[in-house]
Amino acid sequence: MPKIIVEVMPKADLLDPQGKAVANALHRQGYGKIQNVRIGKRIEIHLADAPTAEDLEGAREIAESFLSNGVIEDVVNIHVEA
């Protein structure tokens, strides 16, 4: 059954201490070429039937009002996946 995918990332200009810690760990492991790491969330919304355009719109609202905190996060992607 197709589902709606929402991807949330911390705002580009704000701190991402988790991403920074992971980048540092990778550097210690020898991955010198990695400049930066940022970590977000992937959320799957499963409906009973295949999502309609209306469902997608509704999901966008949920994504922006609840699944992400607009002060510190951005919804970077929302789409239907098979």
Between 4 and 67, CB nearer to another protein: 67
Could you list the residues that contact another protein (CB under 8 A)?
A: 10, 13-15, 17-18, 21, 66-67, 69, 71-72
Q: Which is nearer to another protein, 30 or 53 (CB)?
A: 30
- CB of residue 41 to another protein, shortest distance in Å: 8
Residue 8 vs 51, nearer CB to another protein: 8
Residue 46: phi, psi to the nearest 5? -100, 125
CA pair distance 10, 20, nearest whole angstrom: 12
Closest by Cα among 63, 57, 55, 51 to 7? 63
